[in-house]
Amino acid sequence: MIIKSINLETVCGITSKLPQNQLPEVAFAGKSNVGKSSLINALMNRKSYARVSAQPGKTQTINYYNINDELYYVDLPGYGYAKVTESVKEQWGAMIERYLHTSKQLKLVFLLIDIRHKPSKNDVMMYDWIVHNGYYPVIIATKSDKLKRSQLSKHLKEIRQELSLNKETPVFPFSSLSKQGREEIWDFIEEVVMP
Ligand code: GTP
Ligand code: MG
């Protein structure tokens, strides 16, 4: 995919009305700090267009990036961020849920899991949500640069086991540092969203 234009077109907070977009949407879900915004930057060929932080809880709004006037990447707030109050957690959760349930253009939800860690309860819940709502599940195992090559397959297997994935379910190892997986993810998006 050649990136001709990108534009952070819409930013939605807790009380915002969600946009009724015409173009297909691809969303990125996962716990805080897993690397959602970093992945979106890598897919857009930008270093820091989407705001990234070492502190979890960076993305607190739903951000719609218009790519080439062809599709949107939707950056979601992360879940499971321990340092905010329960009521803030609930509001973020409600916001993510509202987006996932009401977007008419949502074609694909990627679930990002840190390749180093076992999927959490929340990850399993998000995975189940994706499947039960009729979306084809696709996992991105982030921060693959943090493991030695020889450890990768063991960790990928563990993610598969914990989520009880089918053989056909894709799991893409990805690193925003090395860009491992970037082309495969783009190819997949193009196949599903722009056939
Ligand atoms: P929230 O917005 O808080 O939900 O986080 P996020 O999922 O958008 O994560 P973000 O992209 O902001 O990245 C969090 C931290 O992880 C930052 O310090 C990034 O530099 C780092 N990071 C993201 N991806 C990678 C990766 O592939 N490899 C390594 N080593 N670090 C990464
Ligand atoms: Mg973010």
Q: Say how far apart CA 163 and CA 167 lie, in whole Å.
A: 12
Determine if ligand 1 sits within 6 Å of the CB of residue 63. Answer: no
Please identify, by atom number, the ligand 1 atom nearest to the C-alpha of residue 59: 2
Mean pLDDT of the chain: 94
Q: Which residue has the higher pLDDT, 174 or 1?
A: 174
The pLDDT value recorded for residue 83 is 75
Bridge pairing between strands 171-173 and 25-30: unpaired
The predicted-structure confidence for 45-75, as pLDDT tens digits, reads as follows: 999 999 999 988 888 899 999 999 999 999 9
Pocket flag, ligand 1, residue 56 (CB < 6 Å): yes
State the distance from the centre of ligand 1 to the C-alpha of 50, rounded, in angstroms.
11
pLDDT, residue 91, reads 85
Regarding the domain delimited by 6-193, which CATH topology (the fold level of the hierarchy) does it fall under? Rossmann fold (3.40.50)
Helix (H, G, I), strand (E, B) or coil at 60: coil
Look up residue 175 and give its two tokens.
Answer: 């690193």
Residue pLDDT, tens place only, 134-176: 999 999 999 999 999 999 999 999 999 999 999 999 999 999 9
H helix or E strand, kind and range, residue 193: helix 182-193
C-beta atoms surrounding 99 within 10 Å: 21
Kindly provide the ipTM of the predicted complex, given to two decimals: 0.99
CA distance 126 to 140: 13
Q: Is the C-beta atom of 38 inside 6 A of ligand 1?
A: yes
* Nearest ligand 1 atom to alpha carbon 52: 12
Question: Which are the contacts of 184, defined by CB distance < 8 A and separation ≥ 6?
Answer: 172
Q: Is 111 helix (H, G, I), strand (E, B) or coil?
A: strand
Residue with token string 């820091």: 48
pLDDT at position 92 is: 83
Average pLDDT over residues 75-94: 84
Is it the case that residue 194 has pLDDT exceeding 90?
no
83's CB contacts (< 8 A; 6+ apart) are 56, 57
pLDDT of residue 89: 80
